[in-house]
Structure 1
């Protein structure tokens, strides 16, 4: 079996990979939703869905700080990584253990391709196609929902001290655009640039400031601090998983976005 991952790397498998280690939380959830629970032998400490995996699977570290000895001992057939979540150095070292499949998700189309690829990789073609069909249906429905809504300017914060935002070439930015939010930091250099709060009005004067639930735990104090530098912007706490998790999570995200629009 020969398949090409999203970095364009050709992988040749003499047999179907059975023992899987996933180093990406959203992709762990997708693998579970494709019916591969029994095949998953290792996950990261950030793989919180499904909840029971913390008790039933071996935790091999974080996404950028992994325990190679633990991974090697699990004798995986394949390790699932992501270009953003895992460094090239980690991937290179993991390649000495077994094949490493790297995803690269910037668009909804990339997401659907990943699901299709996993269906091919793990002989779950029917399950993968069901998820693709469900996501496509919900995607088309949401496009109808959003088409008449006016475009508003937004800033999406992912970190404080230093303050960091989602910029261009990110899945978050793609979903902001889908929701008719113009990301004021899309033009700024870097995918997750640092920003100065005192310049927020000069750099775009957003209608909404979104504070993500992950990776930083924003509080009311942070909202108040950022609010001091905005003019008319409404500060909204949002579920970071819905804006940044790809895979099967996207299906739930469309319903979440409808509720978000109703709230704001």
Structure 2
């Protein structure tokens, strides 16, 4: 039997998610029946790609296709989707553009989105689960003999380092971002490293890569001029963090992304003990 909202359900019934994180949250809360369209980049949960039509990328969307779905609510992220939001608003669609860029912001986002679909209690419980997971990881990281210095690379041409929630998760997982001053910049163009030598001078112990839309190539990073002097390169501590679990400000980052980084730092610490 199809699970459909009752006639007394006054919350949004036909939601289009322009990015991945609202889809993941709504599925986690058991509210996926409300979703009628998703981002083409969506991979979590896997069944979402099979069940829902894909109507947007990150910087573009099929406005006509979205309107055909007759949405009563569209969810997007950041000023990057401002033009999409503008077109939909002009067409009479209600749009919510969130702009959360921190771990605290992700947790608040989960709670707000849950409240918007009448699932405030389930959302609060889900957020508490994430908070407990974060606390558990922090407690383990507190026992590290030494915290690795970490360089996170979000793109390679030009070199772009990680955004705020990534830097915060690195700290929670037990490392220290070597460019914390850059992480506060919301736009990628403001997180470009003008000189690759900055990374050499920062001497990271671990290099994490998540090249949005393409596979991270550790061997190419290690072959950069002068980078053989970097401890991470000398000891082979270069790792990929898959972009779907770290480059979206949603549950994936708080669970799988955090876990992936933490495992790397635990292994690195084991080498220090040895």
- Give the TM interval when normalised to the shorter protein: 0.7 to 0.9
> Shift of residue 190 of structure 1?
4.3
> Shift of residue 21 of structure 1?
0.4
Kindly tell me the number of residue pairs found equivalent between the two proteins.
Answer: 247
Matched, 1:201 2:200: yes
For 2:239, the equivalent position in structure 1 comes to 236
Matched, 1:165 2:161: yes
Matched, 1:87 2:90: no
For 2:5, the equivalent position in structure 1 comes to none
Equivalent residue in structure 1 for 2:98, among 75, 94, 103: 103
TM-score using structure 2 length: 0.80
Gaps of 5+ in 1: 1-13
For 2:266, the equivalent position in structure 1 comes to 262
> Shift of residue 32 of structure 1?
1.0
| Distance in 1 (alpha carbons) for counterparts of 2:262 and 2:177 | 19
Q: In structure 2, the residue corresponding to 1:52 is in which secondary structure?
A: helix
* TM-superposition CA deviations, 1:114-150 (whole Å, max 9, x none): 1111221101123212212211221221121112323
Report if the CA contact (8 A) 1:159-1:216 is conserved: no
Report if the CA contact (8 A) 2:43-2:244 is conserved: no
> Shift of residue 91 of structure 1?
2.0
| Distance in 2 (alpha carbons) for counterparts of 1:128 and 1:207 | 37
TM-score using structure 1 length: 0.83
> Shift of residue 69 of structure 1?
0.6
* TM-superposition CA deviations, 1:165-197 (whole Å, max 9, x none): 215xx2112212222432222324944322232
* TM-superposition CA deviations, 1:208-244 (whole Å, max 9, x none): 1111153332224423324852421232222333333
For 1:154, the equivalent position in structure 2 comes to 150
Alignment of 1:1-264 (within 5 A): 15-83=10-78, 86-96=80-90, 97-149=92-144, 150-167=146-163, 170-188=164-182, 190-191=185-186, 192=188, 193-195=191-193, 196-202=195-201, 204-212=202-210, 214-226=212-224, 228-231=226-229, 232-233=231-232, 234-249=237-252, 250-264=254-268
* TM-superposition CA deviations, 1:30-57 (whole Å, max 9, x none): 1111112211101111011222222321
| Distance in 2 (alpha carbons) for counterparts of 1:252 and 1:199 | 29
| Distance in 2 (alpha carbons) for counterparts of 1:155 and 1:35 | 37
Gaps of 5+ in 2: 1-8, 269-274
Change (3 A) 1:255 1:185: closer
| Distance in 1 (alpha carbons) for counterparts of 2:75 and 2:36 | 12
| Distance in 2 (alpha carbons) for counterparts of 1:127 and 1:227 | 51
For 1:8, the equivalent position in structure 2 comes to none
Change (3 A) 1:217 1:257: closer
